Structure 1
């Protein structure tokens, strides 16, 4: 049985913080690490700090997660 995407990302999150900061340069490494790769935490963080709607933040984060599923 395959793991859900959010579990895969949480396991790899420390390695993905650098690429995530490139995408969302408004966020600090510390903020990204603190989110632990949690989808809901990241949505709120990107929404508030990057000035986009929650839906747009969700789309960007899910797309990022999909691109890095096997990284």
Structure 2
């Protein structure tokens, strides 16, 4: 998904992101501003996943929530 589109829809998607990654706080999700790299970094850090795993989860999330 185009990063500009994601950033524009991010406020709408934060609820779905919170459901997908419940350990992330609302503040953390807001600060990512829909940036896939930042979100993947948070997921990697919080859940102990590899960078590739986190990036795949984020890609799948954005593709599913177009």
| TM-score, with length taken from structure 1 | 0.87
* Aligned counterpart in structure 1 of residue 30 of structure 2, from 27, 33, 46: 33
Matched, 1:19 2:16: yes
Q: CA RMSD in A?
A: 1.0
Q: Distance in 1 between matches of 2:23 and 2:60?
A: 18
| Contiguous gaps of at least 5 residues in structure 2 | none
Q: Which runs of 4+ in 1 moved over 4 A?
A: none
Report the CA distance between 1:50 and its aligned residue: 1.4
